[in-house]
Amino acid sequence: MRKVIITAAVVGSRPTKEMNPAVPYTPKEIADSAVESYRAGASIVHIHVRDPETGASAFKLEHFEEVKNRIRDRCPVLINLSTSGQFDKLMMTGDEIIEYRLQPVTLKPDLCSLDLGSLNFTDRVFANSPQFGRKAAETMRQYGVKPEIEVFDVGHVYQALDFIDEGVFDNPPYLQFCMGIKWGLQATPEDLMFAVNKIPDHVAWSALGVGKGQLPLITTAILLGGNVRVGFEDNIYLKKGVLAKSNAEIVDMAAGLIQKLNHDVATVDEAREILKLN
């Protein structure tokens, strides 16, 4: 029976309490949600931070540090901090934006996200230069942090393969297929099978599906030999028309699905071994 890692992305930059009252804003709420997700079966939690007062997207090192410390005081779950930055700050250029976005790496979490390629969202450009990818990988290696390589589109797959061939990432590289963004890879079995068929066997991978694509996409990922990501960053519903009461409720759904497909949910120690973390 294969061990399947569940990552809980407990809050991103877009979901709000107006969309779902259970969306966490404050460092305490985010940490509480992460701990609850761990107890439901997640071995990794992916962390963005918000303004505690307004809930607006934020990217402040002190918030990341508070969330990390609150989680670590209560459980051993693997912590993955975002390096996506804050969109209203992305007009900075060159070394300035790279240094800004890599602040969370200095906190030495277990993993950090590494957005490898650029993508057009419907309302803005998510810009990730090759220089950022290389510097992020170098900085994460320096701090002993595992990169979770975010792949949103076909070109990102090929860029990841080039970087893997060059030895930019330590083995095993860990890819997260982020699927269901309108102009990127879609949350379909066909697109996931295409992406997975391009990567070498030694590359560990996970997949997420945005919105209604979450359940069919993670099911396909499990069947194809991958790991899964769920949580409010990607989807605030448990099923059509039913808001999830918590991130833990969605993690519990994923854990049940893994078990129904005759696999085991990976523990923290098992996830650490699979990803060869320090």
Is the peptide bond preceding residue 27 cis, with omega within 30 degrees of 0?
no
**What confidence tens digit (pLDDT) does each residue in 32-59 have?**
999 999 999 999 999 999 999 999 989 9
Residue 202: its pLDDT value, please?
93
- Count of C-beta atoms within a 10 Å radius of residue 273: 12
Write down the pLDDT at residue 93.
61
Q: Which two tokens stand for residue 136?
A: 């992020």
The CATH number covering residue 40 comes to 3.20.20.70
**Cα–Cα distance for residue pair 245/41, rounded to 1 Å:** 16
- As for how many domains the chain has, the answer is 1
Read off the pLDDT of each residue in 139-161 and give the average, rounded to a whole number: 96
How confident is the model at residue 97, as a pLDDT? 86
Give residue 270's pLDDT. 98
Q: What percent of the chain has pLDDT over 70?
A: 97
Residue 203: Cβ within 10 Å count:
18
The pTM for the full model equals: 0.96
pLDDT recorded at residue 207: 98
Query: What are the Cα distances from residue 36, in Å, to 21, 32, 65, 192, 276?
Result: 16, 6, 19, 29, 25
Instruction: Give the CB-side neighbour count of residue 68, counting CA atoms within 13 A.
Output: 20
Nearest-angstrom CA–CA distance, 96 and 252: 41
pLDDT at position 85 is 81
Classify the phi-psi angles of 80: left when phi > 0, otherwise alpha if psi is within -120 to 50, otherwise beta: beta
| Torsion on CA atoms 249, 255, 259, 263, rounded to nearest 10 | 170
Pairing, β 119-120 against β 125-126: antiparallel
Single out the residue of 216, 154, 158, 222 nearest to residue 187, CA to CA.
Answer: 216
Greater confidence (94 vs 143) lies with 143
Max CA distance (Å), the chain: 48
Mean pLDDT of 70-98: 84
Tell me how far CA of residue 187 lies from CA of 123, 134, 206, 207, in angstroms: 20, 28, 13, 9
**pLDDT-derived band of residue 70, with 50, 70 and 90 as boundaries?**
very high
The domain containing residue 206 runs over which residues?
3-275
Residue partners of 250: CB distance under 8 A and separation at least 6: 8, 230, 231, 232, 235, 238, 244
**CA separation for the pair 162, 171 (Å, rounded):** 14
Q: How do residues 85-137 score in pLDDT, each as one tens digit?
A: 876 565 556 788 899 999 999 999 999 999 998 888 877 788 888 999 999 99
Name the one residue in this structure whose structure tokens are 């934020």: 58
> Count of CB atoms within 10 A of residue 204's CB?
20
pLDDT at 106: 98
Residue predicted with more confidence, 66 or 14: 66
| Mean pLDDT of the residues in the chain | 94
Give the pLDDT score at 89: 61
